[in-house]
Structure 1
Amino acid sequence: MKKWLVLLVSVFLIAGCSANKQKDTSKEKNKPLKKISVVLDWTPNTNHTGLYVAKEKGYFKAEGLDVDIIMPGEAGADQLVASGKADFGVGYQEAITQARIQGVPLVSIAAVIQHNTSGFASPVAKNIKSPKDFAGHTYGGWGSPVEKAVIASLMKKENADVNQVKIINTGDTDFFTAVKRDVDFSWIYYGWTGVEAELRNEKINMIYLTDYSKKLDYYTPVLESNEKMIAKDPETVNAFLKATTKGYKFAIKNPDQAADILIKAAPDLDPKLVKKSQEWLSPKYQDDAKEWGIQKQQVWENYSTWMFDNKLLDKKLDAKKAFTNEFLPK
């Protein structure tokens, strides 16, 4: 009799626990999604594919998030994120380094691409094959002091003088228009503009920064947030990165499908460019890192030291506070 009583009590307890679990699960399912925003650094391109995949495939929703992907506008991603007007953004190690030196509490939370894929591009007809060939030519950029410093650094390795380069601000003028009209070379991401050159059958010479200095192998772009967001709502930061990581991992394994998702989200883009760019870039998201998004302190220290040595910073960076791997999925 006692044995049956024990069994009955056990059954009721198990049933009760099961019912409670179902009830709790139901509550979770009915819980409203948390609205958050992520601001891009530029118009949609394959640097951003993982975000669009996470949204389209429901990865954000599964983490309880309703994510609005927005354009930067005049304010820019860094300013919007730093001020709390956007929760997350797409930024650059260079800009976050400069911001932190000025007391702006931006923090990099993931590396979108593991290695720097940018460099100086020029039409083959300009005959610019190495940094020393910059001499006597015109460079078109966006007016940042770091541009002249990088050009000077590369030219110095070949005993050439940056003062022999004419540097002008071309603003938002695209590379292909600028090199036909105003300039001889510009700084581009090969994964987008370089791939577009291939599609246009316009042959270019590419001088990658990483071929000349390990210190210039910095993270560009990155995902960023601010110290206040990280301190007050770490659960949301964790949920955002969990879903975003799945998005980029999907893009790594399925570049063609990922490209289709980006094209659907940004129908004004050239589908051929998106497809070819995604094929080129997908293997580079994670590259030789153990996991997507991981950042190394040495990379932050190397580049900030380079910036300080080139008088682009007033003081040295506390690299440990500039980035975190804490919220990446374990």
Structure 2
Amino acid sequence: MKKWMYIICSVFLLTACGGGGNTSEQNEGLKKVTVVLDWTPNTNHTGLYVAKEKGYFKERGLDVDIILPGEAGADQLVASGKAEFGVGYQESVTQARVQDVPLVSIAAVIQHNTSGFASPKDKGITTPKDFEGKSYGGWGSPVEKAVMTSIMKQENADVEKVDFVNMGDTDFFTAVKRDVDFAWIYYGWTGIEAELRGEELNMMYVKDYSEKLDYYTPVLTTNEKMMKKDPETVKAFLSASSKGYGFAIDNPEEAGEILLDAAPDLDKELVMKSQEWLAPKYKDDADRWGEQKLEVWENYASWMYDNDLLDKELDSKKAFTNEFLPK
């Protein structure tokens, strides 16, 4: 689930990622659409695989291929119309919109930000002040330093005393043993893996330091042209996806098995534990799964602008919509 650890594969590898095993004869008369993942299959995506396996997409007239990102990435494929839907992040949608890229977030997969800075307990990093004199493993984005600066300032700590190291494709557990002291992770995957390994972590969720950092990650996306020319397909896609995530919320064990059937190379124990942890967080305190708040978009955009991460202010109302979610 780490954004920087993409495993690049061709967008044509449909068999490995599509799941469901539908034949062309069975799908005759259905509208064929593609959803591009942000990374390899994981529990952020379970609702999509459930919707495919349980026939929810088919019930709504869709033949959906779930594919891995190619070198272009999900955002670029969706924005250009080469794929109808994708899995993205509020961060990247915000940056795209400011550059007039017609990418739109149509549903929040998870209601609250489950990411943060993690370190092995024996490193003794329990507050942002402790980042000083330590090495941080990241992916080279300006957002990382801005977030770290923001939370370190609250303790009068100096971000310039942190050694930034580009981890590349190195996994978290190898990196913190060999190269760095802490890194930015999603607890729902890497944190759960640490639990299973018996490796205790100190975890600092970024949302705990500022409400402006409690943004939506990940989200489902489409493009403006798709919304205008084929709104019924967008509604059908979200109706089925909502039903899929609803099933995952109520039936995490069976949903986990469906994900494993679609992606058998995943570690079963990790998937099942992650699914159990994440199930209540998909909808959380929202009125319905997928709901997005204007306040959340405005808060994060203003934070990015104030930290010189955007060239201009975002028109948040154009970056997301709840219009296509089932009522």
Fold conserved (TM > 0.5)?
A: yes
Q: For the residues of structure 1 that align with 2:230 and 2:171, how far apart are their CA atoms?
A: 39
Among the aligned pairs, what percent are the same residue?
76
Amino acid at match of 1:251: A
In the alignment, structure 1 residue 201 sits paired with structure 2 residue 188: no
Aligned to 2:228: 231
Structure 1's 265 and 31: CA in aligned 2 closer, same or farther, altered over 3 A?
closer
For 1:117 and 1:67, locate their aligned partners in 2 and report how far apart those are by CA, in whole Å.
28
> Which residue, out of 208, 226, 243, partners 1:246?
243
2:117·2:182 contact (CA, 8 Å) conserved in 1?
yes
CA contact (8 A) 2:27 2:63 kept: no
* Cα distance in structure 1, aligned partners of 2:198 and 2:242: 34
Match of 1:278 in 2: 275
Partner of 2:285: 288
**Residue 148 (structure 1) shift:** 0.4
Q: What whole-Å deviation, never above 9, does each CA across 1:21-63 have from its counterpart, x for those lacking one?
A: xxxxxxxx99701110000000000000000000000000000
Larger Rg: 1
Distance 1:318 1:72 in 2: 27
Tell me how far 1:73 sits from its aligned partner.
Answer: 2.0
For residue 303 of structure 1, the aligned residue among 297, 300, 304 is 300
Q: Name the residue aligned to 1:318.
A: 315
Q: State how far apart, in whole Å, the 2-side matches of 1:59 and 1:134 are.
A: 47
Counting matched residue pairs gives: 302
Counterpart of 2:175?
Answer: 178
Matches within 5 A, 1:1-330: 32-330=29-327
1:271-313: CA deviation from partner (whole Å, max 9, x where unpaired): 0000000000000000000000000000000000000000000
Q: How far has the Cα of 1:265 moved from its partner?
A: 0.4
d(CA) in 2 for partners of 1:267 and 1:199?
Answer: 19
Unpaired runs of at least 5, structure 1: 1-28
**Aligned-pair CA distance for 1:314:** 0.9
SS at match of 1:66: strand
Give the TM-score of the pair, scaled to structure 2: 0.91
The structure-2 alpha-carbon separation of the partners of 1:205 and 1:30, relative to structure 1 and needing over 3 Å to count, comes to: closer
TM-score by length of 1: 0.90
Residue by residue, what CA displacement relative to the aligned partner does 1:218-263 show, whole Å, maximum 9, x if unpaired?
A: 0000000010111111010000000000000000000000000000
Q: Which amino acid aligns with 2:39?
A: W
Q: Which amino acid aligns with 2:152?
A: M
Q: Distance in 2 between matches of 1:96 and 1:267?
A: 31
1:56-86: per-residue Cα shift (whole Å, max 9, x none)? 0000000000000000021111111111111
Q: How far apart are residue 171 of structure 1 and its match?
A: 1.6
SS in 1 for 2:47: helix
Query: In the TM superposition, what whole-angstrom CA distance separates every residue of 1:91-128 from its partner, at most 9, and x where no partner exists?
Result: 00000000111111100000000000000000111110
How well do the aligned residues superpose, as a CA RMSD in angstroms?
1.0
Supply the distance in 2 between the matched residues of 1:252 and 1:271 (Cα, whole angstroms). 18
* Runs of at least 4 residues off by over 3 Å: none
In structure 2, distance between residues paired with 1:233 and 1:183: 48
Of Structure 1 and Structure 2, the greater helix share is in: 1
Aligned mates of 1:62, 1:273 — CA distance in 2: 31
Cα distance in 2 between the residues matched to 1:32 and 1:264: 26
